[in-house]
Amino acid sequence: MGQTADFVKLEGCEVHGITGSLWHYRQMRREWMSLLEQLQPDVVHFNCCWMPQVAWAIGWTCRYAEQHPEHPVCKVLTPHGMLEPWILRRHYWTKKWPAIWLYQRRAVRQCDWLVATAPEERQHLLDLGWNRHVEVVENGIDVRRIVPKTVWKTPRKFLFMSRIHPKKGLEMFLEAMKEHSECSLSVAGSGEEAYVARLKQQVVQGGLDDRVRFLGAVYGEQKWQLLRDADVVVLPSYSENYGLIVAEALACGVPVITTTGTPWRSLQDQGCGWWVRPDVESLSRALDECLRCTSEQCAEMGKRARLLAEQECAIDVKVKALYKLYMAKK
């Protein structure tokens, strides 16, 4: 939601913008209904939870469908992990419970399908009991367009690349780093200013200021070059519905350390990374094992990582699965 000129251009897509302010409810509703009348969509796919605007748009789409019974509209919602147990517990009484009571549960119930990006997320959505029509369609990337790294070294340079948020577990990883003086960490991403400042303070207090650097958000070729330059990518999250950065790292041929809070058991099964409990002790053990690897072992892990990306992350397979889901409701 916003002005069309502000959006990133997407190949093969026509982008429309509408008013997104909470204070312009009537204008937003008018623009959304007008857009539906103009486009007459067969499917409306919503992404995100907890924003009242998204819940309103789902309700308005239901009203549009009732007004046009001759033209059924399939309503699909992808929560992107925003209904995971860890997220629900965070600020439950002050933020989540009021939103659930006012609009969120109803919006989920109004959808024809929910799309989970991992089997674990599907089970969590079913456990909520708000909507029983849940299918798994994992996120995908265009692996063929991603240039993999060709040189692997003894692991020393670690990279975190994601939104900087408490659920990402950076505090735990920084604590684990204190026992491993030979490694460095680059943090690429942005987050709330106060939280980032707290992390930087932890770095200084832990004596890590010469080994940890904050790069801010990175995009485009700079992002891919950072990934290829890294020896290991880390995502020490408490909770992830998918963790797209893991797929992108694998496509670059970079081993990954992540946690059982993510759906990436295949890292461990295929021998191209570490999948450990989200706590300091487990991350420290993973770091210890990783730092004992030779460059030859890292090269083998990197090649297996690329193969895993080609087998499990290719976007063309995911698009076909999503299209099949759309057509199932026609």
Helix (H) or strand (E) holding 273: strand 273-276
Does 232 fall in a domain? Answer: yes
Mean pLDDT, rounded, for 91-113: 95
Q: How far is CA 131 from the centre of its chain?
A: 22
Q: Please determine, for residue 250, whether its predicted confidence score (pLDDT) is greater than 70.
A: yes
Instruction: Name the β-bridge partners of 132.
Output: none
- Which of left, alpha, beta for 78 (phi over 0: left; psi -120 to 50: alpha)? beta
Asked if residue 176 lies in contact with residue 280, where contact means CB atoms within 8 angstroms, the answer is yes
pLDDT at position 270 over 80: yes
- Burial, 193: exposed, middle or buried (Cβ in 10 Å; 0-12, 13-18, 19+)? exposed
Are 57 and 195 in the same domain?
A: no
Q: Is residue 19 domain-resident?
A: no
Contact 124, 241 (CB under 8 A): no
> CA distances (Å), 222 to each of 50, 143, 255, in order?
32, 17, 19
| 4 pLDDT above the threshold of 70 | no
Among 21, 107, 111, CA closest to 56? 107
Supply the range of the domain harboring residue 69.
40-140+317-328
**Phi and psi dihedrals of 214, rounded to 5?**
-100, 120
Global pTM value = 0.84
Residue 233 belongs to some domain of the structure: yes
Residue 330 has pLDDT above 60, yes or no: no
Contact 264, 239 (CB under 8 A): no
| CA distances from residue 147 to 35, 218, 319 in whole angstroms, order as listed | 39, 17, 22
Give the pLDDT of residue 67.
Answer: 93
Tokens encoding 132: 């029983």
Instruction: Give the model confidence (pLDDT) of 123-153 as tens digits.
Output: 999 999 999 999 999 888 999 999 999 999 9
- Number of structural domains the chain divides into: 2
Burial of 229 by CB count in 10 Å (0-12 exposed, 13-18 middle, 19+ buried)?
middle
The residue-averaged pLDDT of 271-293 equals: 96
pLDDT band at 8 (very low <50, low <70, confident <90, very high): low
Report the distance separating Cα 40 and Cα 21, nearest Å. Answer: 24
The domain spanning residue 209 has which CATH number?
A: 3.40.50.2000
Strands (E), 119-211: 134-136, 157-161, 184-188
Residue 283 resides in a domain = yes
Q: Hey, what are 153's tokens?
A: 């070294």
Asked whether residue 225 falls in the same domain as residue 299, the answer is yes
Mean pLDDT of 102-117: 96
- Segment 100-110 shows an average pLDDT of 97
- Same-domain check for residues 147 and 283: yes
Q: Quick one: tokens of 100?
A: 């659930």
The set of residues, in sequence order, having a beta carbon less than 8 Å from that of 223 and lying 6+ positions away, is 161, 188
Mean pLDDT of 219-227: 95
Same domain, 99 and 185: no
Asked whether residue 222 is domain-assigned, the answer is yes
User: Which pLDDT score is estimated for 6?
Assistant: 58
In this structure, are residues 125 and 104 in contact, taking their beta carbons and an 8 Å threshold? no
Give the model confidence (pLDDT) of 149-207 as tens digits: 999 999 999 999 999 999 999 999 999 999 899 999 999 999 999 999 999 999 999 99
pLDDT for 43-97, tens place per residue? 999 998 999 999 999 999 999 999 999 988 999 999 998 999 999 998 999 999 9
- Same domain for 321 and 265, yes or no, is no
| Domain shared by 158 and 297, yes or no | yes
Residue 302 lies inside a defined structural domain of this protein: yes
State how far the alpha carbon of 88 is from the alpha carbons of 81, 218, 282, in Å.
Answer: 10, 29, 25
What's the mean per-residue pLDDT of the chain? 93
199 lies in the same domain as 303: yes
Judge whether 264 lies within some domain.
Answer: yes
Share of the chain above pLDDT 90, in %: 81
pLDDT tens readout for residues 198-211: 999 999 999 999 99
Whether 100 shows a pLDDT value over 70: the answer reads yes
Q: Using 50, 70 and 90 to split pLDDT, how confident is the model at 7? A: low
Query: How confident is residue 291, by pLDDT bands cut at 50, 70 and 90?
Result: very high
> What is the mean predicted confidence (pLDDT) over 98-108?
97
DSSP labels, 24-35: -HHHHHHHHHHH
Q: Are 156 and 182 in contact (CB under 8 A)?
A: yes
pLDDT recorded at residue 108: 98
In the structure, what pLDDT confidence band is assigned to residue 327 with cuts at 50, 70 and 90? confident
pLDDT score at 329:
63
**Do 182 and 259 sit in the same domain of this protein?**
yes
Same domain (yes/no): 176, 321: no
Same domain, 172 and 280: yes
The answer on 133 and 221 residing in a single domain is: no
pLDDT at 286 over 60: yes
Are 124 and 184 in a shared domain? Answer: no
For residue 317, what pLDDT is reported? 82
Alpha-carbon gap, residue 185 to 168, rounded angstroms: 15
In a domain, residue 216? The reply is yes
